[in-house]
């Protein structure tokens, strides 16, 4: 039986490992650690890198919190209100905003949750938000995820890819946030899956982040870009803000339950723009990208 401390310690290791490798590839920026405590129990360490060579703003958060479950947590889990129910939650959450519009934004999260009634599960995901969708990079990204998933269970990639398409969707724009990836939640020891096998999968997701993203950093960070492309990046960052503040369940949940605001909103870009009724020019690179921001594209072929 895997203890929660073992999961937590692995996540602490993961956070340090990812920060070290991102610093190495960036070549200039350094993550600054900001430890914090949660009044109700536990805390975390936010690590933020700003103004590197490649990364403009990147955050890699670790947290492990516990205590009596807030009403909102009980409600979200359909547990009886007012019941004395202790919880434990731990996770690593990452968002990287690069300078160069040719390098994509990336998000990754792995998390574990348990209640003192014995219920426990894993959740997480990785998704990519290119400012300009490039066929080659999109296929690379999804193939990496598919290969990783396939080593654990044949159902994982197709199921979690669809889940990401549905989750990372900006309903009021009728467009996906980016090219998706994988998303999953409530992975319990059930249906023939052991708790051990779920944790092995979570470790594989966490470990896939660095090689996958640093490949895209190295490949694209040297590309030239124009002022027009930079403007487009700011508009796409505006959409990223819209998704995170309007639709992202984790963000809403955190802000509703007195989570640590600065760590939750670390995902927001350094700057973003909005232009009333912006229309991309016909057949432009921007229009081509917009046409690819939709559900159901099979990139892993």
Sequence-separated (6 or more) residues with CB below 8 Å from residue 271: 234, 237
| CA 177 – CA 192 distance, rounded (Å) | 33
Q: Is 39 in the site for a copy of itself (CB under 8 A)?
A: no
Q: Is 186 in the site for a copy of itself (CB under 8 A)?
A: no
- What residues between 85 and 144 interact with a copy of itself by CB under 8 A? none
Q: Is 245 in the site for a copy of itself (CB under 8 A)?
A: yes
Provide, rounded to whole angstroms, the least separation between the CB of residue 236 and a copy of itself. Answer: 13
The 3-state DSSP class for residue 249 equals helix
The 3-state DSSP class for residue 162 equals helix
Provide, rounded to whole angstroms, the least separation between the CB of residue 246 and a copy of itself. Answer: 5
Q: Pick between residue 154 and residue 246 the one whose CB is nearest to a copy of itself.
A: 246
Query: Which residue from 207, 273, 288, 294 is in contact with a copy of itself, where contact means CB under 8 A?
Result: 273
Which DSSP category does 245 fall into?
I
Q: Estimate the crossing angle of helix 195-220 against helix 4-26, to 10 degrees.
A: 10
- What residues between 246 and 265 interact with a copy of itself by CB under 8 A? 246, 252, 255, 258, 261-262, 264-265
The 3-state DSSP class for residue 159 equals helix
Which of these segments, 104-112, 183-191, 204-212, 273-281, binds a copy of itself (CB under 8 A)? 273-281
Provide, rounded to whole angstroms, the least separation between the CB of residue 131 and a copy of itself. Answer: 16
| CA 178 – CA 106 distance, rounded (Å) | 9
| CA 227 – CA 134 distance, rounded (Å) | 19
Q: Is 84 in the site for a copy of itself (CB under 8 A)?
A: no
- What residues between 41 and 60 interact with a copy of itself by CB under 8 A? 46, 48, 50, 57, 59
**Residue from 245, 100, 273 nearest 177 by CA:** 245
Provide, rounded to whole angstroms, the least separation between the CB of residue 288 and a copy of itself. Answer: 22
Q: Is 21 in the site for a copy of itself (CB under 8 A)?
A: no
Phi, psi of 58 (to 5 degrees): -135, 135
Q: Is 191 in the site for a copy of itself (CB under 8 A)?
A: no
Provide, rounded to whole angstroms, the least separation between the CB of residue 273 and a copy of itself. Answer: 4
Determine the distance from the C-alpha atom of residue 160 to the mean position of all C-alpha atoms in its chain, rounded to a whole number.
14
Active site residue 97: no
Which of these segments, 104-112, 114-122, 143-151, 239-247, binds a copy of itself (CB under 8 A)? 239-247
Contact 59, 267 (CB under 8 A): yes
Query: Which residue from 1, 78, 136, 172 is in contact with a copy of itself, where contact means CB under 8 A?
Result: 172
- Please report how many Cα atoms fall inside a 13 Å half-sphere around the Cα of residue 5, on the Cβ side: 0
Work out the end-to-end distance of the chain between its first and last CA atoms, rounded to an integer number of angstroms: 38
Per CB under 8 A, residues contacting a copy of itself are 34, 46, 48, 50, 57, 59, 171-173, 234, 238, 241-242, 245-246, 252, 255, 258, 261-262, 264-266, 268-277
Residues with active-site annotation: 107
């Amino acid at each position: 039986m895997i203890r929660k401390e073992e999961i937590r310690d692995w996540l602490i290791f993961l956070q340090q490992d990812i920060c070290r490798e991102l610093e190495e590839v960036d070549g200039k920026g350094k993550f600054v650690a900001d430890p914090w405590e949660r009044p109700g129990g536990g805390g975390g360490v936010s690590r933020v890198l700003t103004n590197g060579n490649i990364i403009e703003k990147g955050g890699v958060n670790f947290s492990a919190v516990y205590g009596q479950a807030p009403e909102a947590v009980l409600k979200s889990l359909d547990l009886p209100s007012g019941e004395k129910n202790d919880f434990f939650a731990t996770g690593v959450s990452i968002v990287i905003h690069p300078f160069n519009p040719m390098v994509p934004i990336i998000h990754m999260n792995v998390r574990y949750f348990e209640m003192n009634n014995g219920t426990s599960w894993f959740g997480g995901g990785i998704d990519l938000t290119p400012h300009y969708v490039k066929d080659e990079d999109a296929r690379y990204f999804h193939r990496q995820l598919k290969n990783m998933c396939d080593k654990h269970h044949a159902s994982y990639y197709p199921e979690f890819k669809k889940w990401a398409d549905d989750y990372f969707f900006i309903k009021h724009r009728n467009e996906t946030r980016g090219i998706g990836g994988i998303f999953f939640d409530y992975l319990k020891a059930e249906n023939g899956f052991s708790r051990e096998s779920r944790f092995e999968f979570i470790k594989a997701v966490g470990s896939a982040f660095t090689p996958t993203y640093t490949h895209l950093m190295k490949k694209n960070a040297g590309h030239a870009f124009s002022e027009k492309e930079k403007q487009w990046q700011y508009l796409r960052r505006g959409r990223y803000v819209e998704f995170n503040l309007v639709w992202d369940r984790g963000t809403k949940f955190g802000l509703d339950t007195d989570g640590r605001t600065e760590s939750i909103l670390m995902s927001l870009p350094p700057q973003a723009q909005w232009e009333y009724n912006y229309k991309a020019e016909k057949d432009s690179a921007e229009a081509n990208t917009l046409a690819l921001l939709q559900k159901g594209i099979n990139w892993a072929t």
